[in-house]
Amino acid sequence: MTEDLMWDSVEDIAIRLHEEHPDLDPLTVRFTDMHTWIVAWPEFKDDPKGSNEKKLEAIQMAWHEEYQDS
């Protein structure tokens, strides 16, 4: 993945999280851990402080869909 990721790139972030953690149930992941993983990616170009519970929950739910589909 070479495109820049922003907090609103929910589906792309979810896919990336699933690729990196395929056996991890997203519903067991703390938002603080998920946030740390996302902002550490070189493709992530948004403000790390720009997330909120609503955005992180949307990412978690999209990741959960990826997890269930696999």
Instruction: Work out the number of other CB atoms within 10 angstroms of the CB of residue 5.
Output: 19
| Residue-by-residue DSSP string for 23-62 | TS-GGGS-HHHHHHHHHHSTTB-S-GGG--HHHHHHHHHH
**Residues 6 or more apart in contact with residue 21 via CB below 8 angstroms:** 29
Percent of all residues in the chain with a pLDDT value above 70, rounded to a whole number: 97
- For the entire predicted model, the pTM comes to 0.94
pLDDT at 3: 86
Q: Which residue has the tokens 């720009």?
A: 50
- Average pLDDT of the chain? 96
Q: Which residue has the higher pLDDT, 2 or 68?
A: 68
Average pLDDT over residues 18-44: 97
